[in-house]
Amino acid sequence: MRRRFCRPPRIQLGGPSIQPEQGRQPEETPASREARILALYLPGLATEILRVPGPVLTWHMAGNRRLVAAADAAAMALGVRPGQALADAQALAPQVAVHPDAPDLAASRLAELALWALRIAPLVAPDPPDGLLVNIAGTAHLSGGEAAMMRRAVAALARLGHAASAAVAGTAGAAMALARYGTSRCVPAGGEAAALAALPINLLRLETEVTAGLRRIGLHGIGDVLAQPRAPLVRRFGAGLALVLDRATGAVSEPFRSIRPAPERSIALDFEEPLITRTAIDMVVERLLARLCARLAEEGQGLRRLGLRAHGVDGKTQEVAIGLGLASRDPRHLARLLAPKLEMLAPGFGFDRIMLLAERVEPLGAAQSGLGEAEDERLALAALLDRVAQRLPAWRLRPRASHWPERAVERADPLAPVHLPEGWAARPRPLRLLRRPEQLEAMAVLPDAPPFRIRWRGNWVQLRAAEGPERLEPEWWRDNPGRPVRDYYRVEMPDGRRLWVCRSGGPGSARWFLHGILP
């Protein structure tokens, strides 16, 4: 079968990019005896995605136990190990920052890195949870050989903030096993079995029960398993063990399931005479919008982010973009949103090329207007918010599962549905919390009694009324042990203003803060 090589898209990690289409299957390429696989192992992916200084670890629930899921190199140097009880790890290294495990975020980052790896070779497959496989057959000579390509890939990942180890072999199983073992080498074709012989059995992609069973009978290395008669192993552990061994050594070919980059949804027009006037630019944009929306209608997609790129005759490029609250492919609505942005363009000597790019799309089915008043009002509100959002930030708050005030809400899309948890608004809360709580001094009759005087901004004030406390305990699953409790009081000033003040800590170490203004 003839291989199809597609040009890798230009993707910048962390910025807007076109997402793969929903339901689209990765391209499956049959392996050949000449296949050369570059394996990239990212041992610190689970902690690197947090973007926090080390030492740091992540934890997850295993039944009713909290276990360490991953740890960075600094935490490992202090004795923290994956699989360790979280309480033991915190007792051993209390200075290590603790964060919940985020497998979805790690999977999303691995998918982004897979798209990035298309610049190495046109066939790339993610190997969850922390690996990448790149079929470099026929492309290594472009980078000075396999060893040079491997070094460049590791250095490029380091610049992106990810430590990696790499290996090259004729099979994916052998290459990834060597990379996970930390052996950076290029195994010649046919030498996979000899290279794997000295590695431990847990580096192969076997089920945990199979690995444990092999160890119980004294087979700890891959070479030990390869030296055994195949039939008894298959009867005891199943045919899956034989298939993994044959694929790793190259005895059986393995399909390479390469990702397929998202289609580049863009449309452009070139001009012999440069465009200088705003009228001409508006006419071109109108034509491009009509053609782009027609193409999106054929695909059943709608725009969520649209970019315009204007190429000047002087070689400079100017860009503007708009975002939408709801997916749309209405050319008139898009033209109204783009109109204020076009005022930012400075044609100078003129533009000889204008391009529209669908930077973010979502599935959007056909709809008929006039059938539902509620839906028409929703679309009208979305159109209004789209126009407002081009000039001002548009977002709304939605509840989050936390009883700490600063964690109780988060920003969300203005049209996203909001569901209030039961009892979420049972107690009065300020409409706005202070970004940085102001420290106070307070006087109270008893340690747990409400204050009757506070010193705020240099002045002592006799309070008219006060009630409380409302005690909030630290969130044990998120906060470090020893974080002080908080007691909140609602107090009323002589001029009628009502404040939400907090006492942090116990008697003898308590500190008072103003956290918000009550309505």
**How far apart (Å, rounded) are the C-alpha atoms in residues 122 and 465?**
71
Q: pLDDT band for position 25 (50/70/90)?
A: very low
Whether the per-residue pLDDT at 398 is higher than 90: the answer is: no
H helices present in 390-460, as ranges: none
Mean pLDDT lowest for which of 105-114, 152-161, 389-398?
389-398
The tokens for 303 are 């725009």
CA distance 426 to 162: 45
Q: Output the six-digit token pair for 325.
A: 């609250």
Q: Give the closest residue to 408 by CA, choosing from 425, 393, 384.
A: 425
Element holding 392 (H helix, E strand): none
Q: How far is CA 432 from CA 421, 437, 472, 515, 517, in A?
A: 20, 12, 19, 9, 7
Q: Taking residues 501-514, what's their average pLDDT?
A: 86
Classified as helix, coil or strand, 141 is helix
Q: Decide the pairing of beta strands 97-100 and 56-62.
A: parallel
Under DSSP, is residue 91 helix (H, G, I), strand (E, B) or coil? helix
Left if phi > 0, otherwise alpha if psi is -120 to 50, otherwise beta: which for 21? Answer: beta
Average pLDDT over residues 306-317: 90
pLDDT tens digits, residue range 335-373? 988 888 898 899 988 999 999 999 888 888 666 555 555
Mean pLDDT of the chain, nearest integer: 84
Q: Tokens 């059986």 correspond to what residue?
A: 252
Q: What is the per-residue pLDDT for 3?
A: 42
- Taking the model in full, what pTM does it have? 0.59
Residue 83 has pLDDT above 60, yes or no: yes
Give every CB contact of residue 477 below 8 A, 6+ residues apart in sequence: 66, 100
Residue type, 140: A
Q: Is 225 exposed, middle or buried (0-12, 13-18, 19+ CB in 10 A)?
A: buried
For residue 386, the model assigns a pLDDT of 64
For 317, the enclosing helix (H) or strand (E) is strand 317-328
Note the pLDDT of residue 212.
92
Q: How far apart are CA 7 and CA 9, in angstroms?
A: 6
- Which of 119-123, 231-235, 403-407 shows the lowest mean pLDDT across its residues? 403-407
Domains in the chain, please, with CATH? 27-44+105-258 (no CATH), 50-101 (3.40.1170.60), 266-366 (3.30.1490.100), 432-518 (no CATH)
List the one residue out of 192, 245, 251 whose CA is nearest residue 214: 245
Residue 389 pLDDT? 64
> What are the pLDDT digits (tens) for 312-322?
988 888 999 88
